[in-house]
């Protein structure tokens, strides 16, 4: 039997001195929909994905007005392309009722909150043995996970980041979730995230925290009946967690929940298509494109639909 590698001899580096490819100065800015944007939506062809986007925006707006669950699952790329301010705005408006993140999303979000930057050059770091050896990131996650088995991964990270009063937490998804009381679950596969390499990483705590979050997410899926689930940029972890969590709900209910689902990613992959769009959904949509374009467009489309619903309601009362 081979002994595990000795992590006590690893040399870490400061994340603050590490070159990063993403900085908050390039992040998106939330804006309100304008009459010109409404005209743009009306100008779209009611064919294929354009029609699907409008239908999904309308369904999401109606789910919000009816008090249904609107659950977002996100991968790390969503954070890396500067969309945290838009997600924070959607939380403030009640258009995110709970949030599922993979480990990469939590890592990038923490680094943004700490330093206002994230995303290292992987290739050179692998060759030099410095890739993923960020001292501050690994140490913070290890400390947060001391409460992980009790609170769950997501809630432990939210609380630890709030207590640390990180300087850029206003541009953090986890910071916004803490501010607006949005439940967050974080789902990881051990060995896939940089923090798992850190000498202080405790795999037992991470495993217990992530498993608690899986059971918590399965409970949150109980609010998805006639609601909406949106998968953004997770090709494996979130789709696998989602289909199993829905199965648990259906088992306990004795009948399937009726949920509208959508997958947004740059490429079409098997798991999001089958485990999000097809198997569990009453109605499913699949969009291929860049998150930095699709998410701002979808956000404004939903806000536009909400405005139209309100206008119709006011008109009906007259």
Task: Render each residue's pLDDT in the chain as its tens digit; 318 residues.
Answer: 999 999 998 999 999 998 899 999 999 999 999 999 999 999 999 999 999 999 999 999 999 999 999 999 999 999 999 999 999 999 999 999 999 999 999 999 999 999 999 999 899 999 999 999 999 999 999 999 999 999 999 999 999 999 999 999 999 999 999 999 999 999 999 999 999 999 999 999 999 999 999 999 999 999 999 999 999 999 999 999 999 999 999 999 999 999 999 999 999 999 999 999 999 999 999 999 999 999 999 999 999 999 999 888 776 666
In a domain, residue 115? The reply is yes
pLDDT at 314: 72
Count up the domains in the chain and report the number: 1
In a domain, residue 310? The reply is yes
Determine contact, residues 242/210, Cβ cutoff 8 Å: no
Q: What angle do CA 57, 54, 303 make, to 5 degrees?
A: 40
Query: In whole angstroms, how far apart are CA 162 and each of 4, 168, 173, 188, 191?
Result: 35, 11, 12, 22, 27
Determine contact, residues 264/108, Cβ cutoff 8 Å: no
Of 107, 53, 41, 56, give the one whose Cα is nearest residue 78: 107
Determine contact, residues 30/85, Cβ cutoff 8 Å: yes
In a domain, residue 6? The reply is no
Of 130, 106, 128, 127, give the one whose Cα is nearest residue 118: 106
The rounded distance, in Å, linking the Cα atoms of 72 and 303 is 16
* Torsion of Cα atoms, 229 then 232 then 235 then 237, to 10°: -60
Q: What angle do CA 184, 132, 188 make, to 5 degrees?
A: 30
In a domain, residue 36? The reply is no
**Secondary structure of residue 204 in the 3-state scheme:** helix
Question: What's the gap between Cα 236 and its chain centre?
Answer: 13
pLDDT at 317: 65
CATH code assigned at 158:
3.40.910.10
Question: What's the gap between Cα 224 and its chain centre?
Answer: 16
In a domain, residue 163? The reply is yes
Exposed / middle / buried, residue 273 (Cβ in 10 Å: 0-12, 13-18, 19+): middle
The rounded distance, in Å, linking the Cα atoms of 4 and 228 is 43
The rounded distance, in Å, linking the Cα atoms of 174 and 154 is 8
Q: What are phi and psi of 13, to 5 degrees?
A: -125, 160
Neighbouring residues of 89: CB distance < 8 A, sequence distance ≥ 6: 30, 299
The count of other CB atoms within 10 Å of the CB of residue 191 is 8
Q: Enumerate the H helices of the chain as residue ranges.
A: 35-43, 48-65, 76-80, 84-92, 103-115, 122-128, 135-144, 148-151, 153-164, 173-180, 203-220, 237-253, 270-271, 291-317
Look up the domain containing 267 and give its range: 48-317
* Terminal C-alpha separation, the chain: 79
In a domain, residue 212? The reply is yes
* Torsion of Cα atoms, 79 then 82 then 84 then 85, to 10°: 180
The rounded distance, in Å, linking the Cα atoms of 246 and 217 is 9
In a domain, residue 238? The reply is yes
pLDDT at 80: 96
pLDDT at 154: 98
In a domain, residue 14? The reply is no
pTM for the structure as a whole: 0.95
pLDDT at 214: 98
Question: What's the gap between Cα 196 and its chain centre?
Answer: 20
pLDDT at 313: 76
């Amino acid at each position: 039997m081979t002994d595990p590698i000795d992590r006590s001899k690893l040399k870490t580096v400061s994340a603050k001195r590490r070159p990063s490819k993403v900085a908050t100065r390039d992040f998106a800015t939330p804006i309100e929909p304008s009459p010109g944007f409404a005209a743009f939506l009306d100008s779209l062809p009611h064919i294929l994905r354009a029609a699907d986007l409008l239908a999904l925006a309308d369904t999401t707006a109606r789910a919000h007005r009816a008090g249904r669950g609107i659950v977002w699952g996100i991968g790390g790329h969503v954070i890396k392309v500067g969309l945290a301010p838009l997600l924070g705005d959607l939380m403030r408006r009640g258009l995110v009722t709970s949030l599922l993140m993979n480990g990469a999303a939590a890592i990038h979000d923490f680094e943004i909150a700490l330093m206002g930057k994230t995303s290292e050059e992987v290739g050179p770091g692998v060759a030099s043995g410095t890739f993923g050896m960020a001292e501050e990131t690994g140490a913070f996650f290890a400390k947060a996970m001391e409460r992980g088995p009790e609170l769950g991964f997501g809630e432990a990270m939210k609380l630890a980041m709030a207590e640390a009063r990180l300087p850029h937490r206003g541009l953090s998804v986890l910071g916004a979730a803490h501010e607006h009381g949005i439940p967050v679950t974080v789902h990881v596969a051990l060995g896939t995230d940089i923090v798992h390499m850190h000498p202080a990483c405790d795999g037992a705590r991470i495993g217990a925290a992530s498993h608690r979050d899986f059971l918590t997410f399965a409970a949150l899926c109980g609010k998805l009946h006639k609601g909406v689930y949106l998968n953004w940029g997770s090709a494996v972890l979130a789709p696998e967690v989602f289909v199993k969590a829905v199965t648990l709900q259906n088992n306990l209910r004795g009948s399937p929940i009726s949920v509208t689902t959508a997958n947004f990613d740059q490429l079409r992959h098997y798991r999001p298509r089958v485990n999000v769009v097809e198997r569990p959904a009453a109605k499913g949509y699949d969009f291929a494109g860049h998150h930095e374009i699709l998410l701002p467009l979808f956000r404004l489309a939903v806000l536009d639909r909400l405005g139209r619903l309100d206008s119709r309601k006011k008109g009906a009362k007259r």
